[in-house]
Each structure stands twice: as structure tokens, then as C-alpha cells.
Amino acid sequence: MRTALCSGSFDPITLGHLDVIRRAAACFDRVVVCVSPNAEKRSQMFTPEQKLLLVRAAVAELPNVEAELWPGLLADFAAAYGASVIVRGVRNVTDFDAEYQMALINRGICPGLETMLLPAGQEYQHFSSSMAREMIRYRQPLERYLPGPVIPLVEELAEKEGGSNHGQ
């Protein structure tokens, strides 16, 4: 069984993320979505547990996809889940440069761990979680940015927070 990882901070998961996960699910027997806190991103809207809830809601219709939290190195997660490939989406050359460097680091930590970079679909090239967070903060329609099953959860979480910046 070929297992691949799709990783990210998913704050929140967007239609662009889901597109990459779906495409990976079509290529591999099993895809594990690794929801990892990103210590370098100071502006987190959702807690790790909330992000995991959102990701699980978004991928529920994909029978060969599961999602887990992981606070450590992605190479260690790959070893723990028996994955031989990390699938990452890239929107532009800046993403490519960053992902290329991470691929080299991960392979240095875990020889044999490959990284597959999928170019973003044209309709998702402008998407980012940062942009989605702005749409959430300003109570804009979310259908163009977030997976359908995630929207009611995001709205509920935003309502509970009373419009605050959730994790800031």
C-alpha cells in the first residue's frame, strides 16, 4: 500500500488545499493529512484541535484520506505512518523555492522520503489561508474559498469567539 502525506498548518483548510489532497488521493492508496502547528506563523486563527476538526470535515467524503495532528518533524510523521511521499501544492516560484528546500531537508532526515510538488489548479493560484482568514474576520461569503462542509464550522467557531482573532 502506497501512503502519501499532505501537510500544512491549515489555518483554515481552503479549496486549494482540498484540491491538492483530492489529487493526491487519486494517486495513492492512502493519504494522511498532517495538521501541524507552524511556530513561525504568529497569526493563528484556529487552535490545532479546531484545524484538525475542519480538515476532517473537509476530507470526510474521501475514503482513503485521514487526518492527524503532529507537533514534530514531518519526516518523523512519515516514518510513523509508513509514508514514502510528501505531496505539497505550489502556487508560484516562491512556494516552489521554499518547498524544494524543505524536500531536501526531509530527504536528509529520512533518506528515501520523496516530495511530489503539485502545481495549484489555475482557479486556486491566488488562494491562501491568510486571505481566507481575512474573509472570515470581515464576515465575507466563504463559498469561493473554503470547502462546503467547513463553512458552518468556521462560522460557528467565529461566532463563539465573538469576532475576535481566535488565537491571537
Active site residue 9: no
Q: Which of 17, 30, 133, 166 is catalytic?
A: 17
Residue 163 has pLDDT above 50, yes or no: no
Number of alpha helices (DSSP H) and beta strands (DSSP E) in the chain = 6, 5
Residue 73 has pLDDT above 80, yes or no: yes
Active site residue 91: yes
The pLDDT value given to residue 127: 82
pLDDT tens-digit map of 14-40: 999 999 999 999 999 999 999 998 656
Q: Which of 9, 129, 133, 166 is catalytic?
A: 129
pLDDT tens-digit map of 101-114: 999 999 999 999 99
Confidence grade of residue 43 (pLDDT, cut at 50, 70, 90): confident
45 contacts: CB under 8 Å, gap ≥ 6:
11, 12, 133, 136, 165, 166, 167, 168
Q: How far is residue 119's CA from residue 36's CA, in Å, rounded to a whole number?
A: 21
pTM: 0.90
Q: Which of 23, 91, 107, 137 is catalytic?
A: 91
Q: Which of 2, 41, 126, 144 is catalytic?
A: 41
| Cβ neighbours around 152 below 10 Å, total | 11
The pLDDT value given to residue 165: 45
The pLDDT value given to residue 161: 72
Q: How far is residue 88's CA from residue 96's CA, in Å, rounded to a whole number?
A: 10
Task: Look at the block and give the residue holding cell 481566507.
Answer: 132
- The angle that helices 74-81 and 93-109 make with each other, rounded to 10 degrees, is 60
Confidence grade of residue 160 (pLDDT, cut at 50, 70, 90): confident
Confidence grade of residue 41 (pLDDT, cut at 50, 70, 90): low
Where does residue 102 rank: exposed (0-12), middle (13-18), buried (19+ CB within 10 A)? Answer: middle
Active site residue 41: yes
